[in-house]
Structure 1
Amino acid sequence: MGKVESPLTGLFKKQKHWVSQALVVALFSGVLMSGCQALAAGESSVQEDLPVVGSYENLKQWIQRASERDDGYGMKANSAPAQTTGAMADTGLVERQAAMAAPASAAPQAKNAASSSFASAKAAQDHSTTNVQVEGVDEADIVKTDGEYIYQVNNRRVIIAKAQPAGEMAIASVIRFDDAFFAPREIYVDGKDLVVIGSGRDEVLLASDQGQIAEKRAMIAPPHYFPYAGVVKAIVYDIADKANPQKSRETAIQGAYVSSRKIGSALYLIANRRLGVHLPENETPDILPWYKDTATGEDKLRVGYDQIRCFPDFSDPNYLIVAGVNVEQPKEPLHLSTYLGAGNIVYASTENLYVALRNVHGPVFWRSAMDGVSPAEKTSIFKFALDGAKARYTGKGEVTGRPLNQFSLDEKDGFFRIATTAGNAWAEGDGTSKNNLYVLDASMKTVGKLEGVAPGELIYSVRFMGDRAYMVTFRTVDPLFVIDLKEPTAPRILGKLKIPGYSNYLHPYDENHIIGFGKDAVEQSIADDAGRVVGVNAYYQGMKMAIFDVSDVSHPVEQHVAHIGDRGTDSELLHNHRALLFSKEKNLLAFPVQVMEVDKSNSAASGEKPSPVPAYGSFAFQGAYVYTISLEKGFELRGRITHISDEEYQKAGQYYYDNDKFVSRIVYIGDSLYTLSNRMIKAHGMETLEERGALAIPGE
C-alpha cells in the first residue's frame, strides 16, 4: 500500500511554503515615504508620489528596519532613513548609466500593437494556440505552433520541427546555447520572431567571487551579504529561415524569473532580485541589480539608486524589476523599471499589468497556526499601465488574505477583482480560514467586498467570467459558489453546489457552462478510542472532470462527470492551465495524464480486510487523453496516445521514471493532432486518432 495522505495533509505541505515566506515577508510594516528624494519633474503625478531610494545609506537603513522584529509579534519602531542627496556612486561595472527609455513616440500603444507578421501567420493552416487567461494577452509555454512548424523547449535546447505534412515530419533546426549556465524555460512565437525565455547564473560574478563567497559561508556569525547570481534572459531569434535561426537580440536582467506576458510586439518580463536583510557596512557593486541589452551595447549596466523607486509600505527586501521589450524593433532600448519590494503573482489585461505580493503582518505564521490566532494576512497589488513596451506604475491596492494563483485576479470595465483566503483550514476560532472577494476601482481603492465565504475551507480554484465569478473551496466536499459581480460595489453569492471532490482548474465552455478539472474524494469518519465518530476526513482519489450548468444561477448543476484512474493519478493540467487543449468548435478536449490504478483483483483474492484508507495505485499509463466534449453527451473518450512502448509498460513497477517519454503537450494543425514528449512528436488523425507519423527527437 502507498503512503496515506489526505487532502488536509497536502494542505499542510502547501502551507510550509507560506511559513517560509512569512519569515521574510512578516519582517516589518510602516510608512517609509519620508527620507526619500523627490522624483524629477515630467513624470506622471502617480510616479511623482512614488519615492526614490536615492542613496546606499537610505537603502541600508530601510533594509535594516526589516530585520528589527519583536520576537515575530510586534514591529519595533525606527526612524525613517535620513534625507540624502548627490549622484549615484560609481559601481565600477560601467562608467555611466545608459539611457533607460526611448522617446514615447517610438513605442506604439500595447493594445493596438500587432505583429507585422500576424497576417502571414494566419495564412497557415488552422492550428491551436496556447490556452491563456485573457484573450489578446499571450503567455509563454514550452510548446508553440504557427500552423506549419512546431517549436519545443526540450531539455536545454529548443527544437524547431516541420510538422506538415504529418507523414513527413522532420527536425528543421536545433537551437543550443553557448552559456553553460542558461536553461530555456518558455517560448513565444509570432511570425518571424521566436523569443526564448530562460534562467541562468552570472558566471562572471561566480568566478570573481568564488573564493570570497566560500570564505563567507564558512563563517557562522555575523551574517554576511551574498551577491545574487541569478539571471533572467530573453533571447530573440529571427526564424524566417527555419533551418538557420539568427539571434537578433538578447536582454538579461539580474534576478529570479516571476512571469512574462506578450501583447502584440511588446514583451513584458517580471523578475525579483533578492537583497536580504544583511547588507555590508560599505557599499559594493553587488548591491545594485544589473541588466544588459544588445540593442544598446554588450556591457552590463547597473541600475542607479536614483532610478529605484520605493513601493509604499513595502515589506519584502527585494528589487522588483519590470522590463519591456519591443520584439519587432531590435534597436529600441529596453524599458526598465526597478522597485524596492517584490511580487509573486502576475495578471495582465490588454491595458494593465498587475503584480501581487502576499504579505503577513503581526503574529508569525507557525505561532498563529498553533495558537489559533490569525495573522494580519494582506496582499498588496501593484498596478502598471501598459503603453507600447513600457509599463508605468499607476497605483497600489491592498486586500485581506492571499490569492491562490493568477486566476484569482481579474480586470473588467476598469475594475480589478481578486479572490483570497485568510487563515488556516485546521485552526479554530478567529484563526480558521475564510475566503473573500474584493473589487477595486481604477485607482486601486476597494469599493466592494464579499468576506467570510466557506469558513474552514480553502480556495482551490477561481474563474472570473464577465459579471460572474466561480469559486471552488474544499475541505471534505467541493462547494462551487456562483458570485454576482454585475454591481461592483455589492458582490453577492447567487448559488452554490456541494459535491464530492474538488476542482483545481475551471475553464469556460460557454457563458452558462464551465468545465472543472480536479480530483474526486471520499469521506471517512474519524472515531475516538470508544468508537464514537468525532469528525470526518477526506481522501482524494483519481482525476475528475465535470461540466457545470449555471443557467439557473441559484441552483448550479453538475451536468456531466468523467473519472480517470485511482488514487495517485495526476495531470499537469491541475497545476498548469497551458497543458489544456480545448476547442468548443471542434468538440475537442485533450490533456496529458499519468494514470495510477489499484489492482482490486489481487486485494480481493488475498482475503485481506479492506483498509479504511484508500490505497495508492500503481503506474498504468502516461500520455494524452483525447475526448469529444458536448453539452448533450458530456465527455466521450476518443482514445489515448502514449509515447511509451508496450515492452516498457511491462517493465514498469509502482512508478515509471523515464520522464523524457511523458507527453507534456497536445496541439493540432488542420485535422492532425500532435503529441509531444522530449523524445518524440507523434501525429494522429483528429477524429479517429489513426497514427499519421512519428518523429524521434535525439538526446542532447
Structure 2
Amino acid sequence: MSGVAALAACTPAKPTATTPPAPAPAMKLVAFDSCDTLLRDLRAAAKASVQPWGFGQSGWFAAGRAEAATAGDAGAKGGANAPAYSGTNNHEAGADEPDLVKTDGKRIVTVSGNRLRVVDAASRTITGRLTLPEFADRMLLHGDHVLVLGSQMMAYESASRAKPGWPGAAQTRLWLVSLAGEPKIVSTFTVGANLADARLTGSIARVVVRTTPHIEFPLDKRGDQQSLIKENRKVIDRAPLSAWLPEYTSDGTKGAVDCGDVSRPDTYSGASMVTVFNFDLGRAVLGQGAPSAVLADGDTLYGTGPNLYLAHDERWRGAGTKGRTDLYLFDVTALKPVYLAAGSVPGWLLNQYSLSEHEGVLRAATTTGHPWQRSSKSTSSVYALRRDGGTLKVIGSVGGLGKGEQIFAVRFTGPIGYVVTFRRTDPLYTIDLRDPAKPVVTGELKIPGYSAYLHPASADRLIGVGQDADDNGRVRGTQISLFDVSSPTSARRLAQHAIGTGGYSEAEYDPHAFLYWPAAKLLVVPVQKWDPEGRGKAESGALLLRVGDTSLTEVGWVEHEAPVYSSYAPVMVRRSLVIGEDLWTISDVGVKATTLDGGRQLAWLAF
C-alpha cells in the first residue's frame, strides 16, 4: 500500500465546452377522464409498440441499476437522550435511502439474507433477532418501525405464462417490523412488480415499483415479423384493463391500482408503468399504499424531501432507441404524491447523483452514446430544467465534456457542479451554475485514473473514491483523492492514497458504503485487495483515513473474523457507522465496535 503523496504535477487544463445536443421536445402530463379512456389509450399505445415476441425486456436490464454538504443525513445527529451519530450516506438531506443497516443513535438494525438483528449501541449487545419469510437486503427505519424491502422473481405457474428471456414474474414484498420489544412482523404488503427504489421523508416511505402488462402472447410463433406483430395486436385488443393495473395484497386483503390514480405523458409505449406506493411508518399497519402511477418506465429515483423525481433511459436496449432520458416530477409533501411535470434531456444518467435540485432548478448530467461502445463520438453535458406548468423545461445547458469518454462520477454542491469523465485520464470538470440559464465550464483537471464517487468534505475540499490508472487507462486499484476546489477555475489534487494493485471498494459503486465523519475528520471505506498474480494473501476490511487540509493519512484498518466454515476467504466489511466515540463496522457475519482510530476492539458480535 502506498503512502500519501501531494501531486503538484496535476495541473488544470483549459476547459473547452461546446454546444450540447439539442433538448428533446417538451413533455407534458395528461390525466385520464375515465377507465374506458384509459383502456382505449393503453391498447392503442401497446399495439404501436409491440414486437414479434411481445414487449421485449423493458425494465429487466435496468433491474440491477436501481441506486456531503448535501449528504446531511450522513453527518452528526443525536438528541438529549442519544449521542451524536452518523446515518446512511444519503444523496440529499431529508430523503433517507434504504440500506442494509440503519441506526437512530441508540440501536443498530441490520438485515442480511433473511435475518434481521437489533444491536443496543450502549451495551454493545444483540438484543433482538427476527427470521424473515424471504431474502431482503435493505430497509428504512422510523421510530420503533422498520420497513424491510424484498424483491424476487417468482416461477411461472405454467409455461404459457413464461416470456422469452424471463425467469419468472417479479414480486416486491414489504414487511413492517415492530422494534417495541422482541422484533416481530406486524404488517405485510405484496405487489406483482419489480422494486425500483424507495425514499423516506419524515414518517412517509415512498416505494417505487415497475410493471409490464400481464398479457400472454402465444409462444408457438410462425410467420414473418409483420404477421407476428399483427397476431400480438389482436391479443392486446382482448386484454382487460386489469392487465395493466398492478395488483397487490395488504395483510391478506387484495386490491389493485385504480384507473383514477394513473397519469401519462404526451407519448408513451403502453408497455410499462411506474407506481409510487406510500406508507406512514408512524402507524402499525401498511394499509393500501395510496398509489400514484404514471405510464412510463423508471430506473433512477432522486428525492429532495418535498419533491421526488423518476428518470428512465433506454441505454441497454441497443441502437435505434430514442437516446434520451425522460424525467417525471412528483410533489410528495402530502401522503399521496401529486404528479406535477415531465421533461426529457438527451443522453443517459450515470445514477441518482447525476441529478440535483437547487433553488427550484433541476440539474442533470448525461452522456450520449451507448455504454458498451468506445466511440469517439460520445460526449457529456449538463442541463438545467425548471418547471413550467406540466413541463420540465430546459432553460440552459453546457456540453462538450469528455469527448470520446463517459461520465464516471457527478456531484453538485449548491450552484457548483463537478463531473468526472474517463477513458485514459480523469478530467474533473468544474461547472458554474449560478446562472442556470447559462452554465459555464470554469475548470478542467486531468489526472491518471478516475473518481467513481465524489463527496464534499468542506466548502473547498472534495474527496474522490475510484481507481488509479496508468497513462494508457489501465486501472491498478482503488485510490482515494483529496481535491482543493476553492477556486472554480483551478481545482487541484492535494493528496492521493493508493490501495495497490487489484484493490477495489464497494464505495466506488454504492455510496452507502462511504463514511465521512467531519467531527473527527475521519474517512472510512471498505476495501478488498489481493495480488493479481496470486502470490499474496487476499485482504478485506475497513480503511480508516484522517483527512487533513492537504493530506490523507492512514490511521487504522479493521477486519472481521471469518466463521470457521468460511475461513478460506476474508470477510467483506460492508458498512460503517459512528455512534458517540465508537466506530461500528458491519459485515454479513457480524458487527464490530472499535475506537475511532480502529486501534482497540470494544466488542465483536457474531451473527
**TM-score with structure 2 length normalisation?**
0.81
- Residues 449-468 of structure 1 show CA distances to partners (whole Å, capped at 9, x for unaligned) of 11222211111000000010
The equivalent residue for 2:328 is 382
Contact 1:666 1:674 in 2 (8 A): yes
Compared CA separation, residues 477 and 227, structure 1 to 2 (3 A)? closer
**Secondary structure at the residue paired with 1:479?**
strand
Residue 549 of structure 1 and its aligned partner are, at CA, apart by: 0.5
The equivalent residue for 1:319 is 273
Whether 1:154 aligns to 2:112 is yes
Residue 121 of structure 1 and its aligned partner are, at CA, apart by: 6.4
The equivalent residue for 1:343 is 298
Contact 2:431 2:440 in 1 (8 A): yes
**Secondary structure at the residue paired with 1:452?**
strand
Compared CA separation, residues 289 and 559, structure 1 to 2 (3 A)? same
More displaced 10-residue stretch of structure 1: 442-451 or 484-493: 442-451
Q: 1:283 aligns with which of 239, 251, 270?
A: 239
Whether 1:695 aligns to 2:605 is yes
- Residues 173-195 of structure 1 show CA distances to partners (whole Å, capped at 9, x for unaligned) of 21222x4xx32221122222222
The equivalent residue for 1:563 is 498
Residue 288 of structure 1 and its aligned partner are, at CA, apart by: 3.2
Contact 2:143 2:282 in 1 (8 A): no
Q: 1:249 aligns with which of 187, 195, 204?
A: 187
Contact 2:544 2:554 in 1 (8 A): yes
The equivalent residue for 1:232 is 172
Aligned partner of 1:249: which letter? Answer: S
**Secondary structure at the residue paired with 1:125?**
strand
- Residues 611-635 of structure 1 show CA distances to partners (whole Å, capped at 9, x for unaligned) of xxxxx88652101111111214x21
Whether 1:683 aligns to 2:573 is no
The equivalent residue for 2:488 is 553
Residue 164 of structure 1 and its aligned partner are, at CA, apart by: 2.2
Aligned partner of 2:101: which letter? Answer: V
Residue 161 of structure 1 and its aligned partner are, at CA, apart by: 2.0
Aligned partner of 1:588: which letter? Answer: L
Contact 2:516 2:524 in 1 (8 A): yes
Separation in structure 2 between the aligned mates of residue 268 and residue 200 of structure 1, nearest angstrom: 19
Residue 47 of structure 1 and its aligned partner are, at CA, apart by: 5.8
- Residues 211-249 of structure 1 show CA distances to partners (whole Å, capped at 9, x for unaligned) of xx22565xxxxx8999973222332222122xx124333
**Secondary structure at the residue paired with 2:356?**
strand
Q: 2:543 aligns with which of 621, 625, 636?
A: 625
Compared CA separation, residues 251 and 598, structure 1 to 2 (3 A)? closer
The equivalent residue for 2:383 is 438
Aligned partner of 2:48: which letter? Answer: R
Q: How does 1:530-541 map to 2 (within 5 A)?
A: 537-541=472-476
The equivalent residue for 1:108 is none
Q: 2:553 aligns with which of 636, 644, 647?
A: 636
Q: 1:145 aligns with which of 103, 109, 113?
A: 103
Q: How does 1:444-593 map to 2 (within 5 A)?
A: 444-523=392-471, 537-566=472-501, 568-593=502-527
Q: How does 1:207-218 map to 2 (within 5 A)?
A: 210=157, 213-215=158-160
More displaced 10-residue stretch of structure 1: 270-279 or 495-504: 270-279
Compared CA separation, residues 686 and 200, structure 1 to 2 (3 A)? same
Separation in structure 1 between the aligned mates of residue 363 and residue 35 of structure 2, nearest angstrom: 29
Contact 1:320 1:343 in 2 (8 A): yes
- Residues 27-66 of structure 1 show CA distances to partners (whole Å, capped at 9, x for unaligned) of xx99999xxxxxxxxxxxx664899774545423321210
Residue 201 of structure 1 and its aligned partner are, at CA, apart by: 5.6
Separation in structure 2 between the aligned mates of residue 480 and residue 32 of structure 1, nearest angstrom: 32
Contact 1:344 1:356 in 2 (8 A): yes
The equivalent residue for 1:260 is 198
Aligned partner of 1:582: which letter? Answer: Y
Between Structure 1 and Structure 2, the one with more helix by share is 1
Aligned partner of 2:262: which letter? Answer: I
- Residues 655-683 of structure 1 show CA distances to partners (whole Å, capped at 9, x for unaligned) of x3x6xx32111112211111222222221
Separation in structure 2 between the aligned mates of residue 170 and residue 646 of structure 1, nearest angstrom: 19
Whether 1:187 aligns to 2:139 is yes
Residue 555 of structure 1 and its aligned partner are, at CA, apart by: 1.1
**Secondary structure at the residue paired with 1:597?**
coil
Residue 268 of structure 1 and its aligned partner are, at CA, apart by: 0.4
**Secondary structure at the residue paired with 2:507?**
helix
**TM-score with structure 1 length normalisation?**
0.71
The equivalent residue for 2:311 is 356
Compared CA separation, residues 384 and 170, structure 1 to 2 (3 A)? same
Aligned partner of 2:438: which letter? Answer: A
The equivalent residue for 2:148 is 196
Decide which structure has the larger Cα Rg and report it.
1
**Secondary structure at the residue paired with 1:683?**
strand
Q: How does 1:364-403 map to 2 (within 5 A)?
A: 365-366=318-319, 376-403=322-349
Separation in structure 2 between the aligned mates of residue 304 and residue 577 of structure 1, nearest angstrom: 36
- The alignment yields a C-alpha RMSD, in angstroms, of 3.3
Residue 305 of structure 1 and its aligned partner are, at CA, apart by: 4.1
Q: How does 1:598-609 map to 2 (within 5 A)?
A: none
Q: 1:271 aligns with which of 193, 206, 209?
A: 209
- Residues 124-158 of structure 1 show CA distances to partners (whole Å, capped at 9, x for unaligned) of 22221111111121111101122232111121121
Separation in structure 1 between the aligned mates of residue 244 and residue 417 of structure 2, nearest angstrom: 43
5+ residue gaps, structure 1, are 1-28, 34-45, 70-118, 218-222, 369-374, 524-536, 600-615
The equivalent residue for 2:6 is none
- Residues 579-625 of structure 1 show CA distances to partners (whole Å, capped at 9, x for unaligned) of 011111211111111012356xxxxxxxxxxxxxxxx8865210111
Aligned residue pairs total: 538
**Secondary structure at the residue paired with 1:487?**
coil
Separation in structure 2 between the aligned mates of residue 122 and residue 255 of structure 1, nearest angstrom: 42
Aligned partner of 1:468: which letter? Answer: I
The equivalent residue for 1:90 is none
Separation in structure 1 between the aligned mates of residue 350 and residue 91 of structure 2, nearest angstrom: 15
Contact 1:360 1:376 in 2 (8 A): no
Q: 2:364 aligns with which of 385, 403, 418?
A: 418
Separation in structure 1 between the aligned mates of residue 499 and residue 198 of structure 2, nearest angstrom: 33
The equivalent residue for 1:43 is none
Contact 1:425 1:456 in 2 (8 A): no
Separation in structure 2 between the aligned mates of residue 668 and residue 466 of structure 1, nearest angstrom: 26
Separation in structure 1 between the aligned mates of residue 259 and residue 564 of structure 2, nearest angstrom: 62
Q: 1:663 aligns with which of 573, 592, 598?
A: 573
**Secondary structure at the residue paired with 1:553?**
coil
Q: Work out which structure has the larger RCO, using CA pairs closer than 8 Å and 6 or more positions apart in sequence.
A: 2
Separation in structure 2 between the aligned mates of residue 51 and residue 455 of structure 1, nearest angstrom: 48
More displaced 10-residue stretch of structure 1: 136-145 or 230-239: 230-239
Separation in structure 1 between the aligned mates of residue 419 and residue 26 of structure 2, nearest angstrom: 34
Compared CA separation, residues 437 and 149, structure 1 to 2 (3 A)? same
Between Structure 1 and Structure 2, the one with more strand by share is 2
More displaced 10-residue stretch of structure 1: 446-455 or 310-319: 310-319
Separation in structure 1 between the aligned mates of residue 463 and residue 78 of structure 2, nearest angstrom: 33
Separation in structure 2 between the aligned mates of residue 549 and residue 449 of structure 1, nearest angstrom: 25
Whether 1:309 aligns to 2:263 is yes
Compared CA separation, residues 160 and 490, structure 1 to 2 (3 A)? same
Separation in structure 2 between the aligned mates of residue 51 and residue 30 of structure 1, nearest angstrom: 27
Compared CA separation, residues 617 and 247, structure 1 to 2 (3 A)? same
**Secondary structure at the residue paired with 1:136?**
coil
Compared CA separation, residues 552 and 137, structure 1 to 2 (3 A)? same
Aligned partner of 1:432: which letter? Answer: K
More displaced 10-residue stretch of structure 1: 52-61 or 484-493: 52-61
